[in-house]
Homo-oligomer: A and B are copies of this chain.
Amino acid sequence: MDLSTDFQSWAKSIQQRTEQALDKMLPATSIAPNKLHEAMRYATLGGGKRVRALLAHAAGEFCGANANIIDQSAIAVELIHAYSLVHDDMPCMDDDDLRRGKPSCHKQYDEATALLVGDALQSLAFQILSAANLHKDSQHQLKMINLLAVASGSRGMAGGQAIDLASVGETLSQTELEFMHIHKTGALIRVAALLGGYSGNNFDGSRIALIDHYAQAIGLAFQVVDDILDAEADTATLGKTAGKDANRNKPTYVTILGLVRAKDLAQELYESAIEPLKAHDNEALRLVQLAQFITQRGF
């Protein structure tokens, strides 16, 4: 990886402010129901690369948004992401005992608590997006809430999970695999960038359309890289049970394309994402760097 220290320090500052904003918005463990609030904090704080928050801020900067405003979208999307991991790890889903190197939520607490943690984190995301004044035009803010709801629901992330479940033991084509990932992880990555962009006011030169194109390519690239890492890494490095997709006979980009072509695809998606942004130079700097960070992590 050859990323400037400038990007590294920007990313670190976003990760820190995201953590602080989440810490502030999650109810304190001293508030009843205490155990639920403790478990919500356990499932959300202190972990992850905060890729969705980074995307929101990179896209927000591109549209001239205030960082404090972007924070609200960034943490709303991170809360939806955190809830999906908690539910996804449950025994009736992926049955995963480890998450970010720690016991997953239902192992640390219990299944009922994990179920409620996910449910309450989703509500909290919409509470945050509807509470603050995110834009001078409230219609615009309603649109942002609607985008997050659609991206989270049955035609977005939750739908992708359902397609994923149905695919276990099936032989999928690359198109079918792509359809699954566009929903399962792509929808939320896309909306993270879109909400970041919508937090701003500079929409010159079809910036939202550029962000949309970028985020869709990066969302897919993210999954291809995940599959590559899952095939290559061992459990210790990854912080979650490695090779589990292959073990459970789940189709991945590596099982369908092989490792070499999967890496080529990640590179192609990266180039497709950043190509239209080159004309914008400095304003799109973080988006370009972030694309590199996402597609080149680990190899």
- Chain B, Cβ-Cβ closest to A27: B154
- Chain B, Cβ-Cβ closest to A83: B119
Q: Which of A108-160 contact B (CB under 8 A)?
A: 110-113, 115-116, 118-120, 122-124, 126-127, 130-131, 137-139, 141-143, 145-146, 148-150, 152-156, 158-159
User: Is A162 an interface residue, CB under 8 A from the partner?
Assistant: yes
Query: Which residue of B33, B127, B155 is within 8 Å of A150 (Cβ)?
Result: B127
User: Is A40 an interface residue, CB under 8 A from the partner?
Assistant: yes
The answer to whether A113 touches B146, judged by C-beta atoms less than 8 angstroms apart, is: no
The answer to whether A158 touches B116, judged by C-beta atoms less than 8 angstroms apart, is: yes
Known A162-B113, A162-B116; contact A124-B154, beta-carbon cutoff 8 A: yes
Q: How far is the CB of A231 from chain B (nearest CB, A)?
A: 24
User: Is A93 an interface residue, CB under 8 A from the partner?
Assistant: yes
Question: In whole angstroms, what is the CA distance A31 to B116 when docked?
Answer: 28
The answer to whether A161 touches B116, judged by C-beta atoms less than 8 angstroms apart, is: yes
Query: Which residue of B31, B40, B126, B158 is within 8 Å of A120 (Cβ)?
Result: B158
Interface size class of chain A, counting residues whose CB lies under 8 Å from the partner chain: 35 or more
Residues in B whose Cβ lies below 8 Å from that of A32 = 159, 163, 179
Query: Which residue of B93, B113, B145, B159 is within 8 Å of A36 (Cβ)?
Result: B159
User: Is A52 an interface residue, CB under 8 A from the partner?
Assistant: no
The answer to whether A154 touches B115, judged by C-beta atoms less than 8 angstroms apart, is: no
The answer to whether B35 touches A166, judged by C-beta atoms less than 8 angstroms apart, is: yes
Most buried by B among A127, A131, A152, A156: A127
**26 residue pairs from A and B, CB less than 8 Å apart:** A32-B163, A33-B159, A33-B162, A36-B154, A36-B159, A36-B162, A40-B154, A83-B119, A87-B115, A112-B165, A116-B154, A116-B158, A116-B161, A119-B152, A119-B158, A120-B158, A123-B149, A123-B153, A123-B154, A123-B156, A123-B158, A124-B149, A124-B154, A130-B145, A130-B149, A138-B141
